[in-house]
Structure 1
Amino acid sequence: MSSYIDTVHPERHTPYLDIPDDVIEYLHYLDFVKLRSPRTVNGYYLDLRGFFRYMMIQWGRADATAKPEEIDLTKIDSKDIAGIGKRDIFGYLDYARSANNGSKARARKLSALKGFFGYMCTQVNKITQDPTENVSLGAPKKTLPKYLTESESLELLNNIQSDFYERDFCIITLFLNCGMRLAELVSIDLGDFRDDTIRITGKGGKERLVYLNDACKQALERYAKVRGGLVNLSDKDALFVSKRTGKRLTARRVEQIVARCLQSAGLSGRGFSPHKLRHTAATLMYQGGVDMLALKEILGHENVSTTQIYTHINQQQLREAVQASPLARQRFIEPKSADQKADGAGDQSAAEDAEKKEK
């Protein structure tokens, strides 16, 4: 998948060459005015590029069998965009569904369209009607986050195989204990540490402090000794660097490291990833008694409603709640045979006769 992000410097981007001028201006607006992160702007770029490729086919200006990268979007002007209506938006969303885009992916695409057309209508007044107005997909279906259990997490830590063991052990330890995002981990500098805290730069450039537990501090100390001995350390500020080049690790490289560690622990092929390790950290903290507001701050969530998904995955507490029932230890009662039932009925009749005599 092509991208405008510079792979060497992910905080920068290469020039936009394959999209309409109005989209370029909008992305610059997101970048310089709204101060959105490079990855957020890149997501909008990809979604809007996909939409206008679809529109070129609908307009008959591109063949449906053409390769996506062969469709020239640079000739699309403001007049073309002004002619897009609700029917086009609904058609694109239906096309996205037929292309096996899930509810979250379609919601993201609609969000990109709403942002762009809202900008065109209210910010620069290049169109008079916003075709996405009142268009909604409804709330996407919520799914429980996938995570490693405590025993699986220990299995992962105990089976790391690497030619740079201290670094990779430290990476996994921070993921499992601090609940940071992949982009947050690779951006950590040595200057972000103070005493027992680490300053993490999250989405939108927002900073938060996360306290380091003993496991994290020990892993960092062991890695620091080895890192300090690298002879070709070219990126002196970066925490996690390549053993071969001494440069800051990329997000893709960390994904590969995590995948290799999962494989050596026998946990590969189950959909685990760096982001799932973040879910794991949050889940284990919640199960350990961390309250929702504290967890929100640790994870860097904007709203506590985002954090509340972890209230649905505390299976241990649910199990303990069921076991707390006073009937939890009730054992199976064998059914009575026909003779036992008859004897029981006779006993009941005799008891009733005796009661009548007493009266």
Structure 2
Amino acid sequence: MMKKHMPKILKNYLDYLSTIQERSNSTVEGYKLDLIMLFKFLKNENNIGNDSYIDISDIDEDFIRNIKLEDLYSFMAFTKNHKNNNAFTRARKIASIKSFLKYCQSKIKILDENISLDLETPKLPKKQVAYLSLEQSEKLLKSITGRNKERDFCIITLFLNCGLRLNELCNIKLEDIRDDILVVRGKGDKDRTIYLNESCIIAIKEYVLKRRNVNNTYLFISERGKQICKRSIQIIVKNNIIAAGLNPNKYSTHKLRHTSATLLYKYGKVDIRSLQKILGHENISTTTIYTHVDDEDIRNAIRSNPLNK
């Protein structure tokens, strides 16, 4: 939906998110889509049907003031029963609604109370984080071959050692690397510093020696000398996972990030706060998913009970 077709109050809120709170473009876009869906649902008086032609451009402050808690419950039921949204997607929509109504109450002060404070978030199933074991990680690195093996080895080494997101790795520039320091731009366009270990430094140096001498500021480039795209990196990782005899449906670029975090916590004895900083998590609750232990750890813990004689 073009901004000119959006209600002014929504446009102003999105501008607030991007300029004042400095949220990332993807976050702002997600909030926009969630709130447009809510407004169309409410404008259609909770009728289920094609909402493509529902005009919401005239939604104003009075409309927002008249939203009731039961309207929000009805909307959440609609997203589950008619849009087939899972618990995680519905939780994100609730976060969007809560943020918008908080803005309406505390920033532009058009609401006396924020009804979304009583809107519960659905109970989320605990995610099982898939990751490579130390042995599988070593096997993956040893299996990398081909004419671009230095580049591919460097890509996978950085994923496994630095816990980078796919977008962060794609956007590394040569100038971002200074000795053992790598500066990456993470979510919300926030820079963070990552300290490179010896494996990363060697992998980068060997790749740069083989890298085509082209006028491109990005570290990872395609065979055409252009900045490598995210899809190409996903294919590189998938092909090497297959070559290592691992399941390509189970492991992806993001699973390599999970692997890095898990190995750091398990073998590097990294505390949770340091891990949060390395991964660039805004909330430590996100980082706690990496503090899991595997079944063998549980077995060993039970066996080590002093009463086990």
For the criterion TM > 0.5, the same-fold answer is: yes
Indicate the structure whose relative CO is greater, using CA pairs within 8 Å and at least 6 residues apart: 2
How many residues align structurally?
Answer: 307
Offset at 1:162?
A: 6.0
Report Cα offsets for 1:129-165 as digits up to 9, x if no partner.
4331321226633323111112222333234466633
Q: Using the alignment, how far apart are the partners of 1:17 and 1:256 within structure 2?
A: 39
Amino acid at match of 2:42: M
Task: Name which of 275, 279, 287 aligns with 2:254.
Answer: 275
**Partner of residue 41, structure 1:** 28
Q: What is the root-mean-square deviation of aligned Cα atoms in Å?
A: 2.8
Unaligned runs of 5+ in 1: 5-14, 331-359
Q: Helix, strand or coil for the counterpart of 2:118?
A: coil
Moved more, 158-167 or 44-53: 158-167
Amino acid at match of 1:130: N
Residues 283 and 314, structure 1, Cα contact 8 Å, conserved in 2: no
Q: Which has the larger radius of gyration?
A: 1
The verdict on how the C-alpha distance between 1:126 and 1:247 changes in structure 2, with shifts beyond 3 A counting, is farther
**Partner of residue 11, structure 2:** 24
User: Structure 2 matches for 1:102-141, cutoff 5 A?
Assistant: 102-137=86-121, 140-141=124-125
Offset at 1:314?
A: 4.4
Q: Helix, strand or coil for the counterpart of 1:239?
A: coil
**Partner of residue 74, structure 1:** 57
Q: Does 1:287 align with 2:287?
A: no
Q: Using the alignment, how far apart are the partners of 2:232 and 2:45 within structure 1?
A: 40
Residues 144 and 313, structure 1, Cα contact 8 Å, conserved in 2: no
Q: Using the alignment, how far apart are the partners of 2:56 and 2:242 within structure 1?
A: 42
Q: Does 1:174 align with 2:158?
A: yes
User: Structure 2 matches for 1:189-208, cutoff 5 A?
Assistant: 189-208=173-192
Unaligned runs of 5+ in 2: none
Residues 143 and 240, structure 2, Cα contact 8 Å, conserved in 1: yes
**Partner of residue 80, structure 2:** 97
Offset at 1:211?
A: 1.8
Offset at 1:112?
A: 0.4
Q: Using the alignment, how far apart are the partners of 1:78 and 1:251 within structure 2?
A: 41
Q: Using the alignment, how far apart are the partners of 1:93 and 1:18 within structure 2?
A: 24
Q: Using the alignment, how far apart are the partners of 2:243 and 2:269 within structure 1?
A: 31
Q: Does 1:88 align with 2:67?
A: no
- Overall identity of the aligned pairs, in %: 38
User: Structure 2 matches for 1:219-238, cutoff 5 A?
Assistant: 219-230=203-214, 233=215, 236-238=216-218
The verdict on how the C-alpha distance between 1:287 and 1:184 changes in structure 2, with shifts beyond 3 A counting, is same
Amino acid at match of 1:277: L
Q: Using the alignment, how far apart are the partners of 1:53 and 1:159 within structure 2?
A: 52
Amino acid at match of 1:74: S
Amino acid at match of 2:227: R
Q: Does 1:53 align with 2:40?
A: yes
Q: Using the alignment, how far apart are the partners of 2:184 and 2:9 within structure 1?
A: 34
The verdict on how the C-alpha distance between 1:162 and 1:32 changes in structure 2, with shifts beyond 3 A counting, is farther
Task: Name which of 278, 297, 301 aligns with 1:317.
Answer: 297
